[in-house]
Structure 1
Amino acid sequence: MRRPPTHAAEGFAEQSTPTAGHARFIGRVGALAVFLGVGAAIAMPAAHADTESTSSSGTSTSGTASPGTDRGSGDGSDTSSSGLAGNSETSTDPSSASDSPGETSDDDAATLTGASDGDDSDRKRSRATETGPDADESDIATADSPLQSGESGAPSEVVAAEDRTNTVTAAVASASVVEVPAGALPLPDTEDRHIPVLPATTGTAAPQASVDIDDTAMSNQVSPLGTPEQIDRERIAMRTAKSLPVELMKLILRCGFLAAAEKQFALVGGPDEANRAALTDAVDEYALAAGFQQQILNPMDPAVVTQVAPPHSWYGLDVDGSRLLYDNPDTIYRFIPVNKTAEYVLTGRIYEGIPADTTFSVLEGLAGTTSTILSLQDLDVSEDGTFVITVSGQPALPGQRNHLQLTSHSTLIAARNTLGDWDIEEPMELAVHRVGGPPNSLFAQFGGFVFLGSLVNNSPFLTSLMSLIPPLGIAETPLVRGPLAALILLVRGANEQAKYMALATTDPETGEPREPNVMTEPASNAEFLANQLQSNGYFQLADDEALVLTIHPGNSGFFTVPVYNDWTITDDYWNEQTSLNNDQAVPNADGTYTMVVSVADPLVANWVSTGGLNQGIISMRFQNLDPDSEDLPRVESVLVKLEDLDDHLPADTIYLTPEERTAQLAARKAGFDKRWAPYLQA
């Protein structure tokens, strides 16, 4: 049964912000690494220090961009891997480009929970069909041309508490112009897209500052993810991933991954040939993810960065994948660096294609244990779909709903948009503005606030002391980015990979290996989003076998069944049906879902392809859980021969013709392409 219709603001006044315990705190790096890095940078000639002043309220966007010149590095020829080699980065991190006053914002992730009644046509709100006007190349950064090298400089001033209100207002006001990176296909001028009418909230919620965002350039024809800043970040990440320290660390990582898989899949003889062949690509994606993670170590120069993404091509750039640790094919992931000593404002907008689930999670430590979550239904959202969220170490004011409180261990905000119907639902716009806290510094550039955690964050004296040395341009080059990314690979690396593999292959209570082709009962796990349930398992299937899954959604408004290789990443899920969610699947008459996981296509509508793998992992997610219901999701699994499949399927099972399967896959690909619009993907 498809998810029932939901208004984004429905029930806002009645629900309180959910929080989760710190769960297990995942490894923290010692001070030695930071001290070595800072010492090396200080030893560099003073001439490397940047001279351009930065604003005290850094602004980063996803879906919007600043009209100024983008700062970053690049030779403008990143459309092939050869274009990434041999070019040193000589400018500052592009996130500093967002320090200019005129910048705007929007980016990475969100998810929305559903109500319990109404028909499917009501929930799937129609999108506007109009497209945005042509981008003016004189006003926007050119993604296909070399980026201007920038200079960072003197520390920005700390915003006084009494001036905070004015600062927040100014930060919000800066998000007033939406631009699209140069290189986008010409789009005809049309009227503005329609905005969802969200019910007015009631109760004691404090008034929210309005956000005036011009959306004339945004439509379902242009993805809100494709900002000049995002393109710059992708260029930098790919260069970093090809640096010598990262390349060396990948050799270690490869050995660690293989050793972990030999242990975790020992019951079936270790990883098979197909998975061994996929190991190099998996390590490459992990390395690119580290190239992105390195760019979100500095909470004093925040940016909204889309990552954990599949390979894609847009704006003259071929971007490799950065998937890892059970990436969800339905989810857009965006990350924002934060720290308790600073204050931030998030501005965003939800459009008519409301995602199936939208969450903002505060993550702790470098690996990211969830401490606090805001869901879309917890927020006060304006009638035009805009919202403002304040972020600081202080608790929310009385009646304030749109607030995230940071702890001394907080490092990131993860914004997730989970898309159920890929044809209709779309990611939100999102931007970050830093409105208070210590100035940007060399210490912050090297991730000191992340690596040293509460040692510095709980001491105003140490915070001020460590912020004395201004940021240096050398810290934004591959000379420094590479070692930092390699350090992240070392910290997360093989141990973390083994831990995530074990979720599917090992009994957590006994430590004994699990049998293949058996799914666990849905349960909460600290390694995933804290307000969802997961059912994990691994499969070992012959070409003539299938794993039949019967899913009882229970109190979940959304669930998905994705297939992963042994290295916990997805493959080509846009051209192959290697995942299926309850919006895409056909329900049984009793409200359950029956899905068939197999190598060969049985022409069942609810087929989940293994992508040609005989061995792999299934990690199901159950989201939008109704807290007032005790009807928990359940999963049953049975291994059958394909020739006996009909005996294990409901009588009303829908079968497709080969032509209908082709049409189903074509529609799937078209929905995926919307994420990268206006560029079609391979």
Structure 2
Amino acid sequence: MGEPNPMAWLPFSIAEAALSGNGGGVGDLPDAWAYLLDRLTAAGELVASSEVNRNSVDYASGMRHLMVLLAVGIDEALRVDPDPVLAVTRTSTDDILTWGMECPDCIYLRATLRGGETYRLFGNRGTARYVGLQTMNGIASTANTLVDELEVDADGDFEVVLSADEHEGNWMRVEGDHPTLVVRHFFYDWDAEQPSVLQIERIGDETAPKNRSVAADVAVSRQIRALGEFVHDNLKFFLDFNAGPPVNGFMPPIDRSAMGAAAENRPVIGRYELQPDEALILEVEPPEGVYWSYSLGNQWWETIHYGRHQSSLNAHQAKIDADGVLRVVVSSRDPGVANWLDTAGHSNGAMILRCVRTETAPTPSARVVKVADVSAELPADTAMVSPAERAAIIEARRRAVHERFS
């Protein structure tokens, strides 16, 4: 078995298990399969016994989340290649395969690189509110920049060199044996903004060894074991992480770059716990800067489906009150308030105020009220919506999310 892998909760650990030997196993496929089944059984027991599992929606979403983690892990295992075809592709995270509270406004792209090589990333910026580039070595960030900080021509075309050695012009440092490039798009206007169109190619003399492969039975054995560890450890990691914020409140902004987040992303993380007839009113002075948004997740740290529910609001979508304060209502029942965040029947879960390239990262105030009393607790000029208007808003969200990932 070997020593436990502290990075086992991350999908990339499954690929690395085959390429570098992490994840245990020496080619014994029956034992590896038994280990996977044992880890899945333990994960199912963890969902069933967790104190955050309080109603049928909570339980069903937890068991469904295990299927999501399996799908993410299997995709990672099957696509591993010691000499990958170079492409900037979408990650396995989208509106269906969701873990770790990914951003509802985002498309994430990734390219797997080989350490020691030099690459040229080129294409068109698109019109998304934010297009960020990050090079990583495993989970550690190496370099981070906005495309808007690079030299970009009038049509939005640009190129940037990725290498260990500094280059003239647009350049980002690459380090480590197993580097990757991550591209994040944050959209404000889901209907109008377009993502970038990017390509990547290796340039210069080839220096890195191509062949990191191992015997097929050894590689598959390691991946199967790593898959079991990923499903169980990812579930437990975020259950433990979710216990950190105060009930119906927020922690101060934190730096999550050690977990792979961009250093400029300062999330303000909270937790809600509500009865069906209760609502949580959040108040904050919205920050000034490139991007901010609210989003809700369930207790398994899955973002609540933002195409079927109004579980997120960004600066383009939210209504700011006349006094400059952003007020939103978190509840499972629609209070008719424009700034409603839908818990989708979950009894408890995560809240994030994402602040990206903003002057401040404020901590919202929060108070619990009865859903029936929400209107009385808000300013008289609070923006309201009718049931028909809400249905139209949800339908527009559904269409926009479908277009984003189709």
Fold shared, TM-score > 0.5 on shorter chain? yes
C-alpha distance in 1 between matches for 2:64 and 2:132 = 30
Can you list the C-alpha shifts for 1:500-554, whole angstroms capped at 9, x where unaligned? 3333322xxxxxxx54211222232232322111122222211110111112222
Q: Which has the larger radius of gyration?
A: 1
Which residue pairs with 1:405 in the alignment?
173
C-alpha distance in 2 between matches for 1:541 and 1:646 = 18
- Could you tell me whether the CA contact under 8 Å between 1:519 and 1:635 is conserved in 2? yes
Query: Matches of residues 379-398 of structure 1 in structure 2 within 5 Å?
Result: 379-397=150-168
Cα deviation for residue 625 of structure 1 reads 2.2
Cα deviation for residue 672 of structure 1 reads 1.6
Secondary structure class of the residue paired with 2:328: strand
C-alpha distance in 2 between matches for 1:302 and 1:485 = 22
Q: Which of 531, 536, 539 in structure 1 is aligned with 2:272?
A: 539
Is 1:306 equivalent to 2:86 in the alignment?
no
Which residue pairs with 1:50 in the alignment?
none
Which residue pairs with 1:651 in the alignment?
380
Cα deviation for residue 375 of structure 1 reads 0.9
Which residue pairs with 2:104 in the alignment?
329
Which residue pairs with 1:505 in the alignment?
243
Q: Which of 343, 368, 372 in structure 1 is aligned with 2:118?
A: 343
Which residue pairs with 2:232 in the alignment?
494
Which residue pairs with 1:130 in the alignment?
none
Greater mean deviation of Cα atoms: 554-563 or 657-666: 554-563
C-alpha distance in 1 between matches for 2:178 and 2:150 = 21
Is 1:671 equivalent to 2:400 in the alignment?
yes
Which residue pairs with 2:206 in the alignment?
437
Cα deviation for residue 497 of structure 1 reads 3.6
Secondary structure class of the residue paired with 1:382: coil
Cα deviation for residue 289 of structure 1 reads 1.8
Letter in 2 for 1:648: E
C-alpha distance in 2 between matches for 1:502 and 1:35 = 24
Which residue pairs with 1:449 in the alignment?
none
> RMSD value over aligned CA atoms?
3.4
Which residue pairs with 2:252 in the alignment?
521
Which residue pairs with 1:425 in the alignment?
193
Which residue pairs with 1:111 in the alignment?
none
Which residue pairs with 1:183 in the alignment?
none
- Could you tell me whether the CA contact under 8 Å between 1:261 and 1:501 is conserved in 2? no
Is 1:252 equivalent to 2:39 in the alignment?
yes
C-alpha distance in 1 between matches for 2:332 and 2:339 = 14
Letter in 1 for 2:156: G
Letter in 2 for 1:635: P
- Could you tell me whether the CA contact under 8 Å between 2:163 and 2:172 is conserved in 1? yes
Secondary structure class of the residue paired with 1:600: coil
Which residue pairs with 2:362 in the alignment?
633
C-alpha distance in 1 between matches for 2:302 and 2:182 = 19
C-alpha distance in 1 between matches for 2:54 and 2:175 = 40
C-alpha distance in 1 between matches for 2:256 and 2:279 = 27
Which residue pairs with 1:357 in the alignment?
130
Change (3 A) 1:651 1:246: farther
Cα deviation for residue 652 of structure 1 reads 2.1
Is 1:278 equivalent to 2:53 in the alignment?
no
- Could you tell me whether the CA contact under 8 Å between 2:72 and 2:97 is conserved in 1? yes
Aligned length: 390
Change (3 A) 1:608 1:564: same
Letter in 1 for 2:187: L
Query: Matches of residues 406-485 of structure 1 in structure 2 within 5 Å?
Result: 406-408=174-176, 410-435=178-203, 436-438=205-207, 441-443=210-212, 445=213, 483=221, 485=223
* Structure 2 portions without partners, runs of 5+: 1-5
Letter in 1 for 2:201: H
C-alpha distance in 2 between matches for 1:428 and 1:247 = 44
Can you list the C-alpha shifts for 1:453-491, whole angstroms capped at 9, x where unaligned? xxxxxxxxxxxxxxxxxxxxx96xxx7885464344355
Which residue pairs with 2:3 in the alignment?
none
C-alpha distance in 2 between matches for 1:388 and 1:497 = 38
Cα deviation for residue 26 of structure 1 reads 4.8
Q: Which of 268, 281, 291 in structure 2 is aligned with 1:558?
A: 291
* Structure 1 portions without partners, runs of 5+: 1-24, 41-243, 312-320, 447-473, 507-513, 678-682
C-alpha distance in 1 between matches for 2:22 and 2:102 = 33
C-alpha distance in 2 between matches for 1:373 and 1:657 = 43
- Could you tell me whether the CA contact under 8 Å between 2:17 and 2:219 is conserved in 1? no
C-alpha distance in 2 between matches for 1:482 and 1:372 = 32
Letter in 2 for 1:599: S
C-alpha distance in 2 between matches for 1:259 and 1:38 = 24
Percent identity over paired residues: 23
Can you list the C-alpha shifts for 1:305-347, whole angstroms capped at 9, x where unaligned? 3124336xxxxxxxxx332111211111111112331111111
Which residue pairs with 1:98 in the alignment?
none
Secondary structure class of the residue paired with 2:250: coil
Can you list the C-alpha shifts for 1:420-453, whole angstroms capped at 9, x where unaligned? 110111211111212243477441x56xxxxxxx
C-alpha distance in 2 between matches for 1:417 and 1:331 = 5
TM-score in terms of structure 1 length: 0.52
- Could you tell me whether the CA contact under 8 Å between 2:121 and 2:160 is conserved in 1? yes
C-alpha distance in 1 between matches for 2:285 and 2:173 = 35
Can you list the C-alpha shifts for 1:170-200, whole angstroms capped at 9, x where unaligned? xxxxxxxxxxxxxxxxxxxxxxxxxxxxxxx
